[in-house]
Structure 1
Amino acid sequence: MRIDHAPFCGVFPPKCQPPSDQQAGTHLKMSDQGLTNEAAAAACKAGNPITKDFMMQQTMLRVKDPVKSLDFYTRILGMTLLQKFDFPSMRFTLYFLGYEDKKEIPADVKERTAWTFSRRATIELTHNWGSETDDSQSYHNGNSDPRGFGHIGIAVPDVYAACKLFEENGVTFVKKPDDGKMKGLAFIQDPDGYWIEILSPNNMVSITS
């Protein structure tokens, strides 16, 4: 869910109702209205059969200080550290985290590696050694020019309860649940400033309707 541009109104007020596919006509460009439902469907093609077992496995974020980031993603967001990989010759470390039961992590290192890379929707935190003490080092979160990467999203049972926890722990908010037109949806920042959407699946029905 994006919140960076005014034309996206979340729950559309009368003046912000998108035109129907029939009303839009062929004379409107994508810059006027985005793709119609038909155009979006037409742009999507059936994948090659070989892609049947492909899956979304990881999103990588570069982090300045792994101590701060690991604390945030485990203690604040409740993730589990699945595995850590050190690359001394290239002076960086990878930390893989996700919502998995610690009891299911294999003890054998090779089995654990295969298991880690078979998990869905993990976060890969990349730490380049020494960045934590470099005052000039920071990472671009993609939400200011030049814009690119936007955010990751975390689904929670209760957005307000989650945000109460975040407030109690001094987490930085981009948007609190009752800010703006999209109620019950929040955005927070991790220690490096990356945006994280906090959403409730059921509430998204009303937000996107």
Structure 2
Amino acid sequence: MKFDHFNFNVLDLEKSLAFYKEALGLEPVRRKEGDGFTLVYLGDGTGGFALELTWMHGRTEKYDLGEGEFHLALTTADIEAAHKKHEQMGCICFENPAMGIYFIEDPDGYWIEIVPQR
């Protein structure tokens, strides 16, 4: 077994695609249209793992993320530059300086942990 993808359901696909491109440099690697839904898989250009964005056509209610006790994590070679960019975007939602990490929040409320490469 090996990891393939992880899913986030989104309300506004174009807004989410723009966020993930600007904030994390993720680009669509494949797309699937279905009856009432669109799937877009985002990749970082370095491996096979993808973030699947699922857009259910016509949905208007925000998704219930429960207690939000889950997240996706990405590493960066330049944590200072990434932090500065995310600060300018206004998407930092939690910081833990003692651990050297922080979290950003996407348009649907999902948290993404930013971790320095070690």
Normalization by structure 2: what TM-score?
0.89
**Alpha-carbon shift at residue 60 of structure 1 (Å):** 0.8
Is 1:95 the counterpart of 2:40 in the alignment?
A: yes
**Alpha-carbon shift at residue 169 of structure 1 (Å):** 1.7
Task: Specify the code of the residue in structure 1 equivalent to 2:113.
Answer: E
Q: CA RMSD in A?
A: 1.8
Which residue in 1 is equivalent to 2:109?
193
Which residue of the other structure, out of 50, 53, 57, is the alignment partner of 1:122? 50
Which residue in 1 is equivalent to 2:32?
85
SS for the counterpart of 2:25 is coil
Unaligned segments of structure 1, at least 5 residues: 1-53, 102-118, 203-209
Which residue in 2 is equivalent to 1:57?
4
Which residue in 2 is equivalent to 1:140?
64
Question: Hey, what's the Cα distance between the residues in 2 that align with 1:192 and 1:152?
Answer: 14
Deviations 1:124-152 (A, max 9, x none): 00000022xx2xx111334x2xx6x5000
Question: Hey, what's the Cα distance between the residues in 2 that align with 1:163 and 1:140?
Answer: 28
Deviations 1:142-166 (A, max 9, x none): 4x2xx6x500001011222201001
Which of the pair has the greater relative contact order for Cα pairs under 8 Å at 6+ separation? 2
Instruction: Give 1 or 2: higher strand fraction.
Output: 2
SS for the counterpart of 2:81 is helix
Unaligned segments of structure 2, at least 5 residues: none
- How many pairs align? 118
